[in-house]
Amino acid sequence: MVSSEFISATEACEFLGISPDTFRRIVRDMNLPTTSDPTDARVKLYNRAAITALKQQPLIIPTRHRVVTLSNNKGGVSKTTSAISLAAEAAADGLKVLLIDAAPQASATISLLDEAERPQETDHGILLSWLKGDTPFQELITPIVFRQFQIDFIPSSPKNDQIDRANPLEAVPALREFFESWDDSPYDYIFIDTDPSFGTLVSMAQVGSHFVICPVQADVLSVDGTIQLTRQLQRARNLTKSQFPALLGFFLARFDPRKRVCKEALDTLRAAYPESVFEAVIPENVRVTESPSQKAPINLTAPDSKGAIAYKALWKEVRARVERTTGA
């Protein structure tokens, strides 16, 4: 029997949200004491208190920007809406924000740009053209200037789907490598909107991120899908051999307080991830649905709506959690 004073490497990796490689490196660097499992001398155990203390250590991000991807393998759960709303809240807070539409469905692009402003027949201006070496990254960026703030934006088009057919070994680490070496990045936050898939683009976004936020719709299937996401992130960390991408948290979206299933889903999620569920819950709100037709985020189209108020609260928590995690 493993005493609760000790913890296995697998458990420690899961608890810390890091890859086995990273764990081995930390154990070596910090000279963490180990003991042998009394039932199997080959298995090393670690002191639980020492591992818990590690979790309090801030994650170091050397660049100015913090990269945050909205991800969930299910469609229609509010990834795009939340990416736009969080980017807009960050911009309204006075931060310099880049929003990347990495979804071939291009819903964020359709929500923010008039037809004439969207990438047309050519590949130009989307992530695919950058990966092919045809467009420098900076030239992908379209500033969207609102009266109150600006969001810099990289649009998408269905052609981004071709990234899936490109060489994944090259594509998956591409954003990460670019972001890591982007010394003169002017951005505080980079948000990435993704499609519901396990494809190359989603991996590229996750691998390129410091943090992943996962909107969950209040039904059981969607809550079950969170396990897939945590596994996907662990695989991404195995690739980056680092503590990134870290799960920043789950939040419930399109919440209808009159529905019992919604309340049950929230309870299930909080029980499964006691530390990872944001307090803020985004209600189902018709103003949220309407805002794409006005080509502006909810904090501008309906700032007093329940949806806008909830997204402001979510952003405050997101920012606080990012700052706490990175010791900022």
Ligand X SMILES: Nc1ncnc2c1ncn2[C@@H]1O[C@H](COP(=O)(O)OP(=O)(O)O)[C@@H](O)[C@H]1O
Residue numbers at the binding site for ligand X (CB under 6 A):
75-81, 107, 253-254, 282, 284-285, 288-289, 307
Binder of residue 202, out of ligand X, Mg ion, none (CB less than 5 to 8 A by kind): none
Question: With CB under 5 A as the contact rule, which of the stretches 17-25, 43-51, 73-81, 257-265 interacts with Mg ion?
Answer: 73-81
**Per-residue binder mask for Mg ion (CB under 5 A), 96-135, x = binder:** -----------x----------------------------
Residue among 229, 248, 222 nearest 326 (CA): 248
Among 65, 66, 74, 79, which residue interacts with Mg ion (rule: CB under 5 A)? 79
Q: Min. distance of Cβ 284 from Mg ion in angstroms?
A: 17
Stretch that binds Mg ion, among 74-82, 147-155, 197-205, 232-240 (CB under 5 A): 74-82
Q: Residue 78 binds which one of Mg ion, ligand X, none, with CB within 5 to 8 A depending on kind? A: ligand X
76 binds, among Mg ion, ligand X, none (CB under 5 to 8 A by kind): ligand X
- Helix or strand run (H / E) with residue 42: strand 40-47
Q: How far is the CB of 310 from Mg ion (least distance, A)?
A: 18
Distance CA 234, CA 231 (A): 5
Q: Which is nearer to ligand X, 243 or 291 (CB)?
A: 291
Q: Which residues contact 144 (CB under 8 A, 6 or more apart)?
A: 112, 113, 150, 151, 152, 153
Q: How many whole angstroms separate alpha carbon 185 and alpha carbon 219?
A: 39
Beta strands in 106-162 (DSSP E): 142-145, 150-154
Pick from 256, 255, 130, 258: nearest CA to 201: 130
Q: What burial class does residue 207 get, using C-beta atoms within 10 Å of its C-beta: 0-12 exposed, 13-18 middle, 19+ buried? A: buried
Q: Which residues pair with 45 in a beta bridge?
A: 8, 35
Three-class SS of residue 60?
coil
Q: Which residue has the tokens 């997204």?
A: 311
- Separation in Å, CA 97 to CA 68, 80, 93, 114, 221: 11, 16, 10, 20, 33
Burial of 10 (0-12, 13-18, 19+ CB in 10 A): exposed
Question: Measuring CA to CA, how many Å separate 92 from each of 97, 123, 127, 202, 272?
Answer: 10, 31, 26, 27, 33
- With CB under 5 A as the contact rule, the residue among 73, 80, 111, 226 that binds Mg ion is 80
CB of 204 to ligand X, least distance (A): 17
Q: Which does 282 bind (CB under 5 to 8 A by kind): Mg ion, ligand X, none?
A: ligand X
Asked if 74 interacts with Mg ion (CB under 5 A), we say: no
Q: Which is nearer to Mg ion, 245 or 292 (CB)?
A: 292
Cβ nearer to Mg ion, comparing 105 with 299: 105
In the complex with ligand X, the residue whose CB is nearer, 98 or 302, is 302
Question: Is the Cβ of residue 59 or residue 110 nearer to Mg ion in the bound state?
Answer: 110
Q: Which is nearer to ligand X, 51 or 216 (CB)?
A: 216
> CB of residue 269 vs ligand X: minimum separation in angstroms?
16
Q: Catalog residues that contact Mg ion under the rule CB under 5 A.
A: 79-80, 107
